[in-house]
Amino acid sequence: MITTDGTNSLRLEFIRSRAKENLEAPENLNDDAAAQAMKFHQGIPGYQETPLIFLEQLSRCLGVKGIFVKDESKRFGLNAFKGLGGTYAMFRMLCAHLGWDPKDTAYKDFQGDGIPQKLSQITFITATDGNHGKGVSFGAKLFGCKAYVLMPGGSSVHRAQAIRDTGPAVVEITEKNYDETVRLAWEMSRKRGWLLIQDTAWEGYEEIPYWIIQGYLTMAVEAAGQLERRGIAPTHVFLQAGVGAMAGGVTAYLMNHYRQNRPAVMITEPEAAACIFLSAKAKDGRAHSVEGDPQTIMAGLNCGTPCKITWPVLRDFASGYLSCADSVAAFGMRRYAEPEEGDEAVISGESGAVTLGALALVLQEKAFSRQKEQMGLGKDSVILLINTEGDTDPENYRGIVAK
């Protein structure tokens, strides 16, 4: 087993919460909503279920029944899960634009007579730290539309290029932080008549993010099915959060799907941009933002303001919140890259790996035995993780994993 370099540098804070057992989770994030999104995704050329990897030897080493990883680095060749949300929201937006009923529409209908010409007039705009922009560029290519993608200052040029390489998107790196870049995208959409497709919600901008979140559910439906085929259900699910849209959507789905036997959901964030953790800690029920210009290697999770739609879900249904140093993500990346003998290696980037880093630390380090107990982790635990990205910044990835 890899040994850690002591728990001082591998910092992790945990807040326990009591999930509301009798509360119903939002209906529009239930099995039906998820099935509709999945039906659309299945119609996209090249759609394939992503693998669910059983880290059997690691589970044995860490003393739990099973650690399962849904490997979203394999999604649509995009190296991250995000394209699920962008493509589904574009589908819904274009159905609305054309006056079509999404229930009776499939991807192939967009190739019908005269439709491509209409679609080629449409421009989508978004702000992104990378993966969502790639999904939007991919979606623009699928539907034959245009796309304009803004990135916060300091964004990786590799990530910007990857967006351009994925589809027709024009990419601009701004000098603003993430939240300000989102605001700029909104202003530009107003001025230029472009369609804003943003993966977070605020007052007055909720329908499109809801579609994005529903799109993410395809991976949750697949994972639940893959576990069911093995005859098991998760006792714990660790979800990484930026604005918390993905984590909130998946949490709501899990609460609906496993109504009689809900898993404990642990929300995991970088300590520099832990807006969900901060909001939970405030204990006033409201969402709070992290101010300033946070720096973390977990680019996909570097968001200072919780998504308006999903914060209540995370507040009411999560069983705990984790705030992690960057070294925890790096530790997770190395554990994935250098597996126990007999386990499959997984390529996992900074935002993808933090949940395994946190889980492995809590399970293996005596210093975290209280947290392990509070999380209810033990020999019967079946833990689901989502590797939300592969090596989306290959240079950083190599630098970290080679250490």
Cα angle 266, 151, 398 (rounded to 5 degrees) comes to 65
**In 3D, which of 246, 294, 290, 292 has the Cα closest to residue 268?**
246
Our CB check for ligand PLP shows the closer of 44 and 303 to be 303
Q: Please, which of residues 12-51 interact with ligand PLP by CB under 6 A? A: none
301 part of the interface to ligand PLP, by CB under 6 A = yes
Q: Minimal CB distance to ligand PLP: which residue? A: 300
Our CB check for ligand PLP shows the closer of 131 and 177 to be 131
Q: Which of 247, 329, 382, 384 binds ligand PLP (CB under 6 A)?
A: 247
DSSP 125-180: EEE-SSHHHHHHHHHHHHHT-EEEEEE-TT--HHHHHHHHHHSS-EEEE-SS-HHH
What's 205's DSSP letter? B
**Secondary structure of residue 291 in the 3-state scheme:** coil
> What positions carry a catalytic annotation?
82, 129
Instruction: Determine the Cα–Cα distance for residues 296 and 272; give it in Å rounded to an integer.
Output: 6
One character per residue 327-366, x = contact with ligand PLP (rule: CB under 6 A): ------------------------xx--------------
Instruction: Determine the Cα–Cα distance for residues 288 and 305; give it in Å rounded to an integer.
Output: 7
The nearest distance, CB 80 to ligand PLP, in angstroms, is 5
306 part of the interface to ligand PLP, by CB under 6 A = no
Instruction: Determine the Cα–Cα distance for residues 338 and 336; give it in Å rounded to an integer.
Output: 6
Cα 6 to chain centroid, rounded: 29
**Per rule CB under 6 A, count of chain residues that contact ligand PLP:** 21
Span near ligand PLP by CB under 6 A; candidates 186-194, 244-252, 281-289, 368-376: 244-252
Instruction: Determine the Cα–Cα distance for residues 87 and 85; give it in Å rounded to an integer.
Output: 6
Our CB check for ligand PLP shows the closer of 119 and 384 to be 384
The nearest distance, CB 130 to ligand PLP, in angstroms, is 6
**In 3D, which of 79, 76, 197, 201 has the Cα closest to residue 142?**
76
One character per residue 371-400, x = contact with ligand PLP (rule: CB under 6 A): -----------------xx-----------
Q: Which of 17, 131, 305, 323 binds ligand PLP (CB under 6 A)?
A: 131
300 part of the interface to ligand PLP, by CB under 6 A = yes
Rg of the chain over CA atoms, in angstroms? 20
Listed in sequence order, the residues at least 6 apart from 155 whose beta carbon sits closer than 8 Å to its beta carbon are: 129, 130, 173, 299
The nearest distance, CB 82 to ligand PLP, in angstroms, is 6
Name the CA dihedral angle for 131, 132, 134, 139, rounded to a multiple of 10 degrees: 150
Span near ligand PLP by CB under 6 A; candidates 22-30, 128-136, 149-157, 317-325: 128-136
Q: Please, which of residues 184-243 interact with ligand PLP by CB under 6 A? A: 199, 240-243
- Measured in degrees and rounded to the nearest 5, phi and psi for residue 158 equal -65, -45
Half-sphere exposure of 322 (CA within 13 A, CB side): 32
Q: Which of 80, 145, 221, 383 binds ligand PLP (CB under 6 A)?
A: 80
262 part of the interface to ligand PLP, by CB under 6 A = no
Q: Are 341 and 1 in contact (CB under 8 A)?
A: no
Q: Which of 55, 245, 274, 333 binds ligand PLP (CB under 6 A)?
A: 245
Tokens of 317: 């249904």
145 part of the interface to ligand PLP, by CB under 6 A = no
Listed in sequence order, the residues at least 6 apart from 163 whose beta carbon sits closer than 8 Å to its beta carbon are: 128, 130, 133, 134, 137, 149, 169, 171
Instruction: Determine the Cα–Cα distance for residues 143 and 241; give it in Å rounded to an integer.
Output: 29
Our CB check for ligand PLP shows the closer of 10 and 297 to be 297
156 part of the interface to ligand PLP, by CB under 6 A = no
Q: Are 125 and 150 in contact (CB under 8 A)?
A: yes
Q: Please, which of residues 83-102 interact with ligand PLP by CB under 6 A? A: none
Our CB check for ligand PLP shows the closer of 327 and 392 to be 392
Q: Which of 254, 265, 303, 401 binds ligand PLP (CB under 6 A)?
A: 303
132 part of the interface to ligand PLP, by CB under 6 A = yes
**In 3D, which of 54, 58, 15, 8 has the Cα closest to residue 363?**
58
The nearest distance, CB 399 to ligand PLP, in angstroms, is 18
82 part of the interface to ligand PLP, by CB under 6 A = yes
Q: Give residues in contact with ligand PLP (CB under 6 A).
A: 80, 82, 129, 131-132, 199, 240-247, 300-301, 303, 351-352, 388-389
